[in-house]
Amino acid sequence: MRLLVFLSGVLLAGGAAAQTVKIGELNSYKVFPAFLEPYRKGMQLALEEINAAGGVAGRKLELVVRDDGGTPGDAVRVAEELLAREKVNLLMGTFASNVGLAVANLANQRKVLFLASEPLTDKLVWEDGNRYTFRLRPSTYMQTAMLIGQAAKLGRKRWAIVYPSYEYGQSATASFKKLLAKAQPGVQFVAEQAAPLGKIDAGAVVQALAQAKPDAIFSSLFAADLQKFVREGNTRGLFRNLAVFNLLGGEPEYLDPLQDETPEGWWVTGYPWSAIDTPEHRRFRDAYQKRWQDYPRQGSVVGYTAVHAAANAITKAKSADSEKLVEALKGLQMQSPFGPITWRPIDHQSTMGAYVGQLAKKGGKGVMVNWYYADGAKYQPPDQEARALRKAP
C-alpha cells in the first residue's frame, strides 16, 4: 500500500491535470499481491520510460492507482470515483475475471476506454465484449489451446478437471473440454472438482479425483490453491503415472513458492524469465532488474506492456478522447517484452502469447524446461467464429 500512495502522489505532483493524460488504474492489490506487486513495478518502469522520452501527445502520462477490493461491486464504485473525481481519461487494470467483466460493463455505459490488462475470461472480448473494452493477456481459450496439442499427443482417454469456481475457472474448463474433444474424439471427462477461490479443501479434492481413476488431469488452479493442491497430491501420490496440465502453473508468482514440492513433468503455461534471450526481453529484464534489484514475474510484463499499450494508443490517436483511442487501438501494432503484438480489430484481443513448457526441479526450486513461445495470433479462433461469439461491434 505504501508504494501505491507514492505512485499516485508523486505523479500528481508532476503538473496540473490539464498538462497530463491520466490513466485510472484499479486492481486487487490486497487480494492478489503475488501477481500485482510485480505488476505495479512493471507499470512504474514503463511510466518512467515514457515520460523520460517526452510523454504522450505532448503531455506527461500519469497513473492514478486504486485498490478495487477484489469484488465487482467495489470495483465499479472505484472506477466511478476515478472517472468522476480524478477525471481520468481511460481505465486500466483488474485481475479477477468477474471484476473485469463488471468494469467492462461500466466502461461501455460511460463510453470510456477500458484496457483490461489481466482478466482472462473469454466473455470479456466475446459474449460480453463491447466497443470500449480491449484485453491484453491471452485469454483462457488461447492459453488452453496452447496446451491442447501436447495433451492430445498423449492419447489419454480419462480426464479429470479441477478449477477455481468463478468465471476464470469456468471459462478455462469449458474451453478445455471443447478443444480436447475436438482434437481427440472419444475422450471422457470422468470427474470435475470446482473449488472455492482461495478456500480449496485440497484433501477432499485430491481424494475425489483419485477415486475417479483418471489417466490425466487438467487444472486451472493458481496461487495458494495450487500450492495446497500440489502438496496434498504429492502426499497422497495422486500424480504418479498421471499426465497433468495446469494453466499459469509456470508463472514465477505461483511456481516459486512450490520450491522442492514442484511436481515434475507437468505441462504448463508460464514465464521462464531467466532463460528468454531475445533482444526485446533482455532489454526489459535488464531495465527491470536495474530499477528494482529484483527479477521480473509475469505480472511485471503485463503491467509494463499495459502502460506502453495505453501510451501507444494515445500517441497514435494524438488525443486522449475515448472514441479516438478506441479507433487507435484497433489493429495497433506494438512491441512487448515477448515480441511484437497486434490488437485485433475483430474482438479487441491482443496477440500477446505465452510460454509453454514442463515443470522440473533444479537446486530445490521449480523451473520450466522444454519450453517454447506460443504466439497468441496462432491460438485464436477464426474470424468467422469470433464474429459469431461476439455480439457487440
pLDDT computed for residue 4 by the predictor: 40
Percent of all residues in the chain with a pLDDT value above 90, rounded to a whole number: 91
Whether residue 336 has pLDDT greater than 80: yes
Query: What's the average model confidence in pLDDT over 303-311?
Result: 98
- Ramachandran angles phi, psi of 361, nearest 5°: -115, 135
> Binning pLDDT at 50, 70 and 90, where does residue 391 land?
confident
Rounded to whole angstroms, the Cα distance separating 350 from 342 reads 6
What does the block give as the cell for 375?
504466439
Grid cell 495470433 in the structure block, residue: 377
To which residue does cell 509453454 refer? 356
> What are the extents of the domains in the chain?
2-139+277-342, 141-275+354-389
Q: What is the pTM of this model?
A: 0.93
Residue 2 has pLDDT above 70, yes or no: no
CA–CA dist 373, 207 (Å, integer)? 35
Q: What is the average per-residue pLDDT within 97-107?
A: 98
Options 3.10.690.10, 3.40.50.880, 3.40.50.2300, 3.90.550.10; which CATH number does 141-275+354-389 get?
3.40.50.2300
Predicted local confidence at residue 16, as pLDDT: 42
State how far the Cα of 376 lies from the Cα of 286, in Å rounded to an integer: 24
d(CA 197, CA 218) in angstroms, rounded, equals 17
Which three-class secondary structure state does DSSP give residue 310? Answer: helix
For all residues of the chain together, what is the average pLDDT?
A: 94
pLDDT at position 1: 34
Q: How many CA atoms lie within 13 A of 278 on its CB side?
A: 13
Please report the pLDDT score of residue 19 as a whole number. 85
Query: How far from 320 is each of 4, 31, 59, 204, 211, CA to CA, in Å?
Result: 24, 31, 10, 51, 56
Q: Which amino acid is at 232?
A: E
CB 195 within 8 A of CB 164: yes
**Residue 155 near residue 184 (C-beta atoms within 8 A):** yes
Give the strands of the sheet with 188-195, arranged side by side. Answer: 188-195, 158-164, 216-219, 243-250, 267-270, 354-362, 365-374
pLDDT digits (tens, 9 = 90+) for 179-231: 999 999 999 999 999 999 999 999 999 999 999 999 999 999 999 999 999 99
pLDDT of 58 > 80? The answer is: yes
Q: Is the pLDDT of residue 9 over 60?
A: no
pLDDT in the model for residue 392: 72
User: CA 191 to CA 136: how far, in whole Å?
Assistant: 32
The helix, strand and coil proportions of the chain, stated in percent and rounded to the nearest 5, come to 45, 25, 30
- Topology of domain 2-139+277-342, per CATH? Rossmann fold (3.40.50)
